[in-house]
Every structure is written in structure tokens, then in C-alpha cells.
Structure 1
Amino acid sequence: MILFKLDVDVMYKVIGISYITFRVIQAISDQKNYGSLDFFEFTSYLFFPPTLLAGPIDRSYRFKSDLDNGYNNISTSNFVRGWELLVIGGLFKFVLAEFVAKFWLGEIDATSTSIATMVNSAYSYTAYFYFDFAGYSAMAMGVGIMLGISVPKNFDKPYLAQNPQEFWRRFHITLGAWLTDYFFKPIYMYLQRFSYLRGRRLLVQNISITLTFLLMGMWNGLVWHYIFSGLLFGLYSSIHNCYVHYVKKGGADIFSVSSNILSLSMKRLIMVNSVVLALYVFSGRVPL
């Protein structure tokens, strides 16, 4: 996996190795609570074609329940539902994403250090990334449903999120849930063993959050722009966590001084622009 992430030209690279690794960890970790899979179930879960390259990241026990249902999940209504998702996903990925790539993103000089050009590049990449990735995820869901497998939803209008916590409940949902269950929670419990950190709940939460997003960045690739974008997302979540803690302790909520519509708009504006910055870094298009 390290060689794959370093982009070393190795003949043993495996397509979808990152997602396969996460599935293996989940299946092994949960077998005590949910039981193990036989060889056919396990290999079907690991190498399910629609989700092999870029998710969504399913859970083994949920996948197994669909396999156990057999042909009961294959019906005319599910085929139609799956076909609709496949068409919508194809529209997103092969029409909208390609349109943005050709007529907006592709027209921008990524080496330019002009502020206006960099801002334009950041917003165009954000639009392209959403249409491309959300489109792929919708197509994977559609094909899965047509085959009798209810692939979990991965995107839910993420750019309408009001804060980082809500954003990760809308954006790459299955990755966020996986990292929470199999990294954030264990590291949080581990850090509480240290006497200095015991009782410092906010600090432990923020350390765990930062390490989780650092892992996410490294998971995308061991290059600076992936890692730094992960740290940015970790910083956003830690700042939000501190702000929520501050308000709960009686601090003034700066968003409560305006109307609900204005407050909602301000939160969304701050969040979407924060995401644009992090995804711009993620893209590797920053002219450094």
C-alpha cells in the first residue's frame, strides 16, 4: 500500500488497493460482533466491481445481508431505481464533469500565481471534483442496486453543509463513517489512558480529529498536497469543535445575532469557501 501511495512503478500494484485495505480492516475488526464471512462472501465483498475503484465503502455485514437475500433483491422496481441512479451518475460524471473540465477548469493556467486565476482554479476544481466523484458514486449505487446489492449513499448535497461535522455527513459519507469507527474512536480511547490527557476531553477530541484527517490525507497519497489538505480539514473540524464547546459553556454565538436565513447563509458561505480552499490544495494545482 505504501508503494502504491508513493506512486512507485511496481508491477504488483493492485487496482483499488486503498478501498480493499479499508474493507479488510473493517471485516476483520467486526467479525467478533457480526460474524465472519466465508471465502465466497469475503472475496465478493472485497472485489465487488462497482465499488472497487473509488467506493463507496460498504460494511461486510451489510453486504452479507444482501447476499443472503439472494435474488429477492433483484426486482423490476429495483432495476428501474438502479437505472435512474446510473443515468444521473453518468450525467454528472460524463456530461457535467467533462463540461467543467473542458470549458472551465481546462482553460485555466494552473501555473499562474495571479490571485484571480488561483481563485478561479479553486472553484472550478471544486465543481469538477463534485460532479466527477458524486457521479461515479451514483453510478456505483445504481449498478449495485440492479445486481441486488444496496450500495450505501456517498454524497448528499455536501456544499450546503453549515459546518465541518455536517459536511462529512454529506461528503464521501462512507469514508467519514469508516474513519470515525475504525480510527477516531480507537485513538480517542487510547489517548484517554494518559494521565495528562485524562479529563481534557476537548484536547483529546481535537488531537484525535487531527490525526484522523491526517490519515485521510495520507490515504489519498503520500505527497504534500494530499497530506496538507487532510490537515486543513482537521483544522476546520477542530476549530468548529472548540467553537461548539465555547458556546455550550455560555459563550456568545456570533451567528445568533442575525436572522435565521442570514445566519444559515453565513455558515454555508464560510463552509463552502473553506472546502474550496482545502480541495484546491488537494488538487495539487497550487502553483508552488
Structure 2
Amino acid sequence: MSFNSYGGIIFAILVLCGYHLIRRHDRQNIFLLLVSIYFYATSSILFTGLLISTIYVGFSAGQIIESVRNTGRSVRTITAFAIILLLGILGVFKYYNFFVDSFAASISMFGFKPSVSTLNIVLPVGISFYIFQTIGYLIDVVRKQTKAETNLIDFALFVSFFPQLVAGPIERSQNFLKQIKVKRPPITNADVTYGLFLIIQGYAKKVVIADNLAPYVDAIFEHKDISSPLIWVGLLLFAIQIYGDFSGYTDIARGYSRLLGFRILLNFDRPYAARSPSDFWRRWHISLSNWFTEYVYFSLGGNRSKSSVRRGGNVLGTMTLSGLWHGASLNFIIWGAYHGLIILLGRVFSKIVPKAVRQSKASTALAVSLTFILMLYGWMYFRITDFDQLISFHHAIIFEWGGWEPALAFLFQGTIFLVLWLVIDIMELHWINIHAHEVKNYRGIGIYMGFILTIVFVLHAVDPSAFIYFRF
């Protein structure tokens, strides 16, 4: 079941109605847990046991860590065991074949011909998200940033809450578990307005912008006569497609959560307006960026090291692991390493250029433009999984400057959806305060939502596709 299906919409409406008919806070949590497990089972019934096992491991490990904290036993050993177990589950289902193939390819370079076998493993929906959320919780317990949860129902709901279960945001216990444990206040008109705004906007991003751009992107990346202009148009359309797809899901998840009385983390903040690669990652998939910063980058030492090489290595290592999180293939590792490199280059540039120059309007416009181009180029590593195709695309970018006619044709066909993306981003900036989670301008917001809803009905894609980040 998916939010962009009729079944998903009906499910969400029924859950909202059922939830608000229940008055007691503890029963509301039980109800949400049951419907969340059901929601996951409809997408991946075979792996519902895996989700439940993750919940059990996280809950039990948290309890053990809390109980042995003052006994002299090694908390870190227990934590490491639990995290290795969780990462092992993730590794088997997501990375087993990749590492087996990589190992075989490596030793074959020395003349060995290993006999290895891969497994036909299906990736459980959302496994990277809920396992990382559980690991983050355990680390927070160890660091005493949160107390180990003693209520299994509350913890299970924290891990499996259906709006953000399969594609995030990756929640922190300090934010979300705290909301689960207390009685939610009655839903206000402001909650309804804000929630509906996000839901309608999210559907527009997904079924109008992302799903309509998808066929053009596929056609370009499968085009026989690839050229530099065609590649750049394809990267532009893909950049907007993946933004509409992923931020659309997040908007829908945050909207439904708000109608249930929860405020989940902001995950996107106009990323293509970023002034630097570092700024981009403060705006794109914010919950994942924060997770890697908090639990990987800082654990490696962050910026504390006196060695610039060590500090650079921390950035590069963190971003490379972030790329690997997205998928078990070489292109994602390259994508992550690429972002690590341009983040480091951006830091060097910021030290060279005087602050007064960087803050001028002309410099800001130039910085945003250059950052956007760097992001477009990076999406090529994300979109293309075949290494030979990557090489041919690089050759075309440098040497093939023909093909303007098909490039302009695709650009013209996608223009309406690019314009809609800009309109939606500008209107969001005008009507809501995304950081305060509230509507800041009620004047005309109903008319705007009616307009967007009309656009959804008129221009929705005939063949809707699954959310891209479901595969991660």
C-alpha cells in the first residue's frame, strides 16, 4: 500500500476517523500501532516479522543498557552487539550480493577464479529507515540523551509509525517518542489547515510533477544518441523528479502526522536554493544528514582533529557511507564520495573568498547557480547504475555537443512541470513557516489549496509510480 494509491488514501482517511473516535491516549497508541503494522504488512507481508524483530531488539537492548549502566558491566559492548545485529540484518538483505560480487571481482584481479553464489534477496520496504531510527535511539540511550523506553507499545509505535515508516524522515527519540508518550492536545483549525496544505502539496509534487517527469527522464537516459545538451536536460528533469517524489512523500507523511496530532521532523528546506554543497545537505534529506553527522561524523572526530587531512577524511568517509546507505552498488559509493569532495572544496573556497564578497547579492546568485550545477552533475551517479553507461555519459558531456533538437524538445515538454515546481516552492514560502510548523498567512490559502487540488485532478500522471526512496 502506498500513499499515492486509492487504497492508501482510503486507509489514511479511515485511520484518521478511527483515531479521533478514541479518547484515551494509551488506546490511541495501540490503535496506531496496529494500523501501522497492517500498513507495512500490505506492502511487505513476508518481512513484517523483520520489522517486529527490529522493534524487539531495539527495545530489549535499550532496557539492558539502562539496567547495567551502574553495575560496572560494559554498556558499549552490549550496544555494539545490538548495533552489529541490526546492521547485520540490514547487510544481509541489502548488501550481501554487492559485497560477494565485489570480493569475487577483487580477488579475480590476482588470477583467482572464485566460485561464489549470490542470493535472490528481495529488499524489505523501508528497512534502512527503521533500522537507522532504532540504532539512533540506542546510541542516544548510551549517551544519556534519552532514557530507555519501558513501554513496549510506545517504543513499537516509535519505530513503526505508518506515515514515516517506509521512507522517513528518520526520527529522533527526543522529538517523536516524547510526543508518543504524552496525551496529544485536541486538533485545532490550524492543525487541519497545515496538515491539509502539506498533504495536497505532497500529492501535487508526486503525482503531477515527479510522475509526469519520470517518462521523459527514462527516455533521455535510455536514448541511443546521447549528447551533452540532452544529458544536462535529463539531469535537470531528474533533479526535479526526485525532489518532487521524495519531498512529496515527506509532505504527505508530515501532513497526515499533523492531523493525528504529531509534528515529525522537517526533511526538506528548498535544497536547490543552497549556496554551497554543505548548505545543500542542511536542506536535503535533513533527517539522514543529521543522523550521519550525529552518529558517524562526530564519532569519527568531526572537526576536532588538528590534522586537516583527518578532518577531510572524516567528511569524505561520512559522505561515502551515506552514499552506500542509498544503495548497494558502486555508483552510490561514487555519488557519496563526490559529495564529500565538493563539500571539502566548498570549505576551501569559503576560506579563500572574503566574507564581504561572499555575502553580496551577485556572489549569492553565483553561488546558488554553481551549487545547483554541481548537484545536477552529481545526480548522474545516483541515476545511472551501469558503469559503462557512466563512462559513455562522461564522454558525451565532453565531446558530444550536438543533439540540441531532442534536448530542447524534452525541455519544452517538461517546462510546465518545472514551472509548477517553482510555483509550489514559492507559495509554500509565502503561506507557511516550515520551521515553526505553522501557517503564517491564512489569506487566500484555501483558494491556493483548491487550485493545487484541481491541478492534481487534471494533470495527475496516468501511470503513477512507486516512491523512489521506497527502494532504500
TM-score, normalisation: structure 2: 0.54
Q: CA deviation at 1:109?
A: 4.4
Aligned equivalents of 1:4, 1:227: Cα separation in 2: 18
**Counterpart of 1:72 in 2: which secondary structure?**
coil
The question of 1:225 aligning with 2:331 is answered: yes
Aligned residues: 273
Query: Residues 188 and 158 (structure 1 numbering): CA distance in 2 closer, same or farther, change over 3 Å?
Result: same
Q: Cα offset for 1:127?
A: 1.1
2:229 is aligned with 1:116: yes
Aligned amino acid, residue 123 of structure 1: L
Give the partner amino acid of 2:306: G
Residue 111 of structure 1 and its aligned partner are, at CA, apart by 4.8
1:72 aligns with 2:185: yes
Indicate the residue corresponding to 1:105 in structure 2: 217
TM-superposed CA distance for 1:17, in Å, is 0.8
Task: Say if 1:229 and 1:278, in contact at 8 Å, map to a contact too.
Answer: yes
Q: Is structure 2 residue 124 aligned with structure 1 residue 14?
A: yes
Shift in Å at residue 9 of structure 1? Answer: 3.1
Q: Does the alignment pair 1:199 with 2:299?
A: no
CA distance in 2, matches of 1:237, 1:93: 29
Contact 1:66/1:73 (8 A) holds in 2? no
Deviation at 1:241, TM superposition (A): 2.0
Within 5 Å, give how 1:54-69 maps onto structure 2. Answer: 54-69=167-182
Q: Which residue of 2 aligns with 1:281?
A: 381
2:357 is matched with which residue: 256, 277, 280? 256
Consecutive unaligned residues of structure 2, counting only runs of 5 or more, are: 1-89, 98-118, 391-472
Cα distance in structure 1, aligned partners of 2:179 and 2:231 = 46
| 1:4 partnered with 2:93 | yes
1:68 Cα deviation after fit? 2.7
Q: CA deviation at 1:145?
A: 0.9
Confirm or deny: 8 A CA contact 1:19 1:55 kept in the other structure. Answer: yes
Residue of structure 1 equivalent to 2:146: 34
Residue 5 of structure 1 contacts residue 220 of structure 1 at CA under 8 Å; is this kept in 2?
no
Aligned 8 A contact 1:105 1:121 in 2: yes
Deviates more, 1:106-115 or 1:41-50: 106-115
Greater shift, 211-220 or 93-102, is seen at 93-102
Q: Is the 8 A contact 1:110 1:285 kept in 2?
A: no
Q: Deviations over 1:108-139 (max 9, x none)?
A: 24354422222222111111111111111111
Worse-superposed segment, 165-174 or 2-11: 2-11
Q: Which has the larger radius of gyration?
A: 2
Counterpart residue number, 1:160: 273
CA shift, 1:69, in A, is 3.0
Q: Which residue of 1 aligns with 2:247?
A: 134
Tell me the equivalent position of 1:184.
297
- Contact residue 158 and residue 180 of structure 2 kept, 8 A: no
Contact 2:275 2:367 in 1 (8 A): yes
CA distance in 2, matches of 1:213, 1:120: 26
Percent of residue pairs bearing the same amino acid type: 25
- When residues 64 and 48 of structure 1 are mapped into structure 2, their CA distance, relative to the original with a 3 A threshold, is same
* Contact map agreement 2:130 2:170 (CA 8 A) in 1: no
Which residue does the alignment assign to 1:237?
Answer: 343
Amino acid at match of 1:132: D
Which residue does the alignment assign to 2:12?
none
Corresponding residue for residue 322 of structure 2: 216
Task: Give SS of 2:255's match.
Answer: helix
Does 1:46 pair with 2:155? no
| Aligned partner letter, 1:4 | F
State the distance in 2 between where 1:73 and 1:211 align.
Answer: 45
Corresponding residue for residue 195 of structure 1: none
| Whole-angstrom CA distance in 2 between matches of 1:73 and 1:150 | 13
String of CA shifts for 1:218-237, please: whole Å, max 9, x gaps: 11112011111101111111
Single out whichever of 106-115 and 44-53 deviates more from structure 2. Answer: 106-115
Shift of 1:285: 6.4
Amino acid at match of 1:167: F
